[in-house]
Structure 1
Amino acid sequence: MTVMRVERVVYGVPNLEECVRFFTDFGLDPVDGGENGARFATQTGQVLELRDVDDPSLPPPVQSGPTLREIVWGGDSQESLDKLATNLLSDRSIYTDADGVAHTTDETGFGVGLAVSQPVTGRTNFPGSNRSGNVNRWNDPLAHPGRVKPLRLCHVALDIKKEGKEEAVAFYTERLGFVPTDRPAKVGVFMRAPGDTDHHTLLLCHRPDRNQINHCAFEVARIDEVIVGANDMIDKGWHEARRLGRHTVGSNIFRFIHAPCGGRMEFAADMDRVDDSYGPNDYEETPPHTIWTLR
């Protein structure tokens, strides 16, 4: 199986109404969530699902309170999905639901799902940028972007305990085929899904003593939407977690908002795209966290 992208993330929450308001304000589109929760979709068809924290069908939580319970990875075909699920059966239990999604857990305890990816085409006609020698926008003044609607869920970052980190990373690289891109020794491992070209689709951050959700990142078209999207969230009463900046590893522009479902949500733009010739790059000394950030 070639894992292409994050297909769905599932949170267990005690505060469903508050979380629904958050993701409505965040710009995701509501879709049918059934009787026991709520679902939202990106412009490319990925799903963020909210379920009751005590829902017995969810994997056990790795931390108390609202948190991420499962990442469902989208693959390229049912045939390759079946092969991967069969391989995982050698050392863990797997449950396949009525929709054909296989469910298990990783070495840290986070739920892992495997499903056939069902992408849809989102908007692509965004204004270009101009600079001397590279003009991409003629006779087309920019306007306010309006309500920001994330294009896709581009990556998930998980905090994992340092003890057992090698096994945690190996589950994704050796069992699911993820490709490491950058490995700052004191930070963690950035890796991309084998069918993705983003610098990273998953980040496993090494922590001394805890497993928890760090953040989910949602791609928007350009820096204007990173700024406006977060401004709108703050205007609606949500709290900024990290001010505007550009990361060193991955190069993406970012702005983070605290999320009531656990962890943070990131508006992200302009991440590095890489292929199989890139990395992995190992760093004994940690690169600067940002190229720049607002003061």
Structure 2
Amino acid sequence: MSSSSSKQELPLKQIPGSYGLPFFGPIRDRHDYFYHQGRDNFFANRIKQYNSTVIKTNMPPGPFISSNSQVIALLDGVSFPILFDNTKVQKHNVLDGTFMPSTSFTGGYRVCAYLDTTEPNHAILKRFFINILLSKNDSFIPLFRNTISDSFSELEDQLSGENGKSNFNAAICSAVFNFMFRLLCDDKDPSETNLGSKGPGLFDKWLLFQLAPLATLGLPKIFNYIEDFVIRTVPFPFCFAKSGYKELYEAFSKEAKTVLDEAEKVLFEMIL
């Protein structure tokens, strides 16, 4: 008997784990995840408790932002490929886990990352992105190399300064933004646009207010429940990021002519 047929005949087992009581279970798991155990121990403890690397659990942010916190966690290399099986995994509005930020942050649209693979627009948009990357194949690597090189030169200048310190995260975030902007905007340097040097900061702010419920500030324990109440009771409204989003929108609208011309063709295809 072949090994493949043996695997098919293995008996099915119930997935271990627990979601706990409605409302209270997700909050308990959320506090364990962020404050009592931490991310790594949260999963490690449950693997040990249930003697399994595939478990049922709740994931942040939970009530009231997420209407359903229940997930099945795949915590080993053998089960992980199941995530790529579209017949077994539903990918509707789950880019950020168990909740979806307001579409106000994305111009009122459910962007490709939130679409399930069964939705017609998913294939159209995915093909558009792949075609854009293919059209940039000659400039992708050189542009990336130059951007990273400039970033490390900046870090070296900071290290050789009076303080002898550098901010690696800020430099890399800036490099990533500059690379993506120049890639999509025909090699236009964002510092030469209305953004100036503000682009990375505006992008981080736009992202922050969407993903805040999935983060923690690392405050002293006495403030844990205050933090939890503030950032995980209701989602942050778009108005906090609106002005920065408008600046980003205007910059890309003006400079990304080639990409936007192709996007118009895709939009026409989606309408039809």
TM-score (norm 2): 0.25
TM-score (norm 1): 0.24
Q: Relative contact order (alpha carbons < 8 A, sep ≥ 6): 1 or 2 greater?
A: 1
Larger Cα Rg: Structure 1 or Structure 2?
A: 2
